[in-house]
Chains A and B, each alone.
Chain A
C-alpha cells in the first residue's frame, strides 16, 4: 500500500503524505534503524552507517558535502538554527540582517529574535526581490543575508545566485523548503535549509546545510550529535525515510515539472477565464512548477476556503481573515496585490487533470454565490 491523498488535496506546499519510496524506507527503518548511532556496539554501528548514508544522499541532492549537512527536528528548527548560529558566529562583525520582504515567517521570527537590527528588501508586483535594493541594504555591520529560494506563497523564483554575487562576502542563508526535491537549487549559499514533509518525506525532519568555512556557532548547548549543530538523539527512522523520499523526489522532479506546469497553466487560464475580477499573482513563467495563487475581488477568504472544503478541496489562503493575527499575508502586502479572497493551490504527484478540471468547474459558481451573498454581485 502506498500513502496517498484523496482527490482535492491542493495544499502540497504545507505538507505531503509520505511518497511510496519514503513509506517503504520508514517501515524498513523501524525494524533496522532504532539503535543510537553514537554507541559502540553492532546495532549502533549499523545505525551509524544508515545515518551517514542518509546524510550522503541528502547532501548529493542539495549540492553539499555530507559533513556540511545536519538533520533537525523540522524545517522551522533548521531555519532558526541557521539564523541564530550564523549571527552568533559573526557577532564580531555586527548584528544587522538583510532579508527579502517575503521570507517565511519562521525566518522572520528568528531574525526578530536574534538580530540587533534588520532591513527588508522590497519585492516587485510579481514577488521578485529587488536585487539593487537588497545590495544597497547591506552595511559594514551586516552579519547575515536571507533570501528564500522561491516564494512559498506565490511561487516566484528568487534571483539567489545574482544576489550572492552582490553580497560582498556576507553569508547568504537560503530557505529552500519549497524548492528541494522539486526545482534546481542555487549553489552560492552559505547556509541552506529544507523540510522533509514538503518533498514527500515524514514530518519531524528538517535539513540544515552549512558550507565549509562559514562562521557558525551553536546557539544551543552543543553535544557530539550532528556535527555539534543539533543537540539530542536524531530521529533515525524518519531521517532514513526523508533521505529516500528526497532521492525519489529528485529523480522524478524533471518529469513531475513537465506534468505539473501544464496543469498549473490550465488552472491559471481557466481561473482567469471563468471568474470575473480575479487577480492571479506571482511571476507567470519563472516560478515553482506546482503552485498557483489568486485573489477574488469582493470575496471573503475564509468563506471561500470553507466553501471549497465543502466541495472536497483543501487549499490555503493569505487573506487576513484566515490568519490568527487577522493581518493579511506579509508576502501579498509586500507585493502590493489584493489580499482578500486569496487562495493558494499547490499540486503534487497524485494531482490529476480531472481533479484540476473539477476545481475549474466548481470555482466560478462558488465565487458568484459568495459575491451574491455579500451583496457584491454587479459591482
Chain B
C-alpha cells in the first residue's frame, strides 16, 4: 500500500517535521498512511513519540538517499 500523502521536511529542523505530520494527518482517511521525509536526527525519536501521544500508529522508517521516510498510519 503506497502512502496517500508524502510530507517533505528535508532540511527543516525539529519540531517542524512533527508539526507538518500533525497538519497532514487529518487530510487522509483512517487506516491510510502518511510518509514524512526528514533528515533531522530528532525526527527518528519525535515522530514515534508523537504517534504514542496522539494514539496513531508508527509503522517504521526507511532510509532514503537524503534522510529517512517515517511512515505513520492514521488510527483515529
| A376→B50 CA distance, assembly (Å) | 14
Set of chain B residues within 8 Å of A117, measured between Cβ atoms: none
Task: Report which residue of A297, A332, A336, A341 has the largest number of chain B beta carbons within 10 angstroms of its beta carbon.
Answer: A297
* Total number of B residues with any Cβ neighbor in A under 8 Å: 16
**B1 interface contact, C-beta 8 A:** no
A217 to chain B, nearest CB (A): 38
**B19 interface contact, C-beta 8 A:** yes
> Is B14 within 8 A of A300, CB to CB?
yes
Set of chain B residues within 8 Å of A307, measured between Cβ atoms: none
| Interface flags, A315-343, vs B, CB<8A=1, else 0 | 00001110000111000110011111100
A335 to chain B, nearest CB (A): 9
* Total number of A residues with any Cβ neighbor in B under 8 Å: 24
B76 to chain A, nearest CB (A): 14
The answer, among B22, B23, B46, B53, for a CB contact under 8 Å with A340, is B46
| A299→B16 CA distance, assembly (Å) | 9
The answer, among A277, A319, A321, A375, for a CB contact under 8 Å with B53, is A277
**B40 interface contact, C-beta 8 A:** yes
Beyond the given A300-B13, A340-B18, please list 16 additional residue pairs across the A-B interface where CB-CB is below 8 A: A279-B49, A279-B53, A297-B53, A298-B18, A327-B41, A327-B42, A328-B14, A336-B48, A338-B50, A339-B49, A340-B14, A340-B15, A341-B15, A375-B19, A376-B22, A379-B22
Mark A residues whose CB is within 8 Å of B: 277, 279, 297-300, 319-321, 326-328, 332-333, 336-341, 374-376, 379
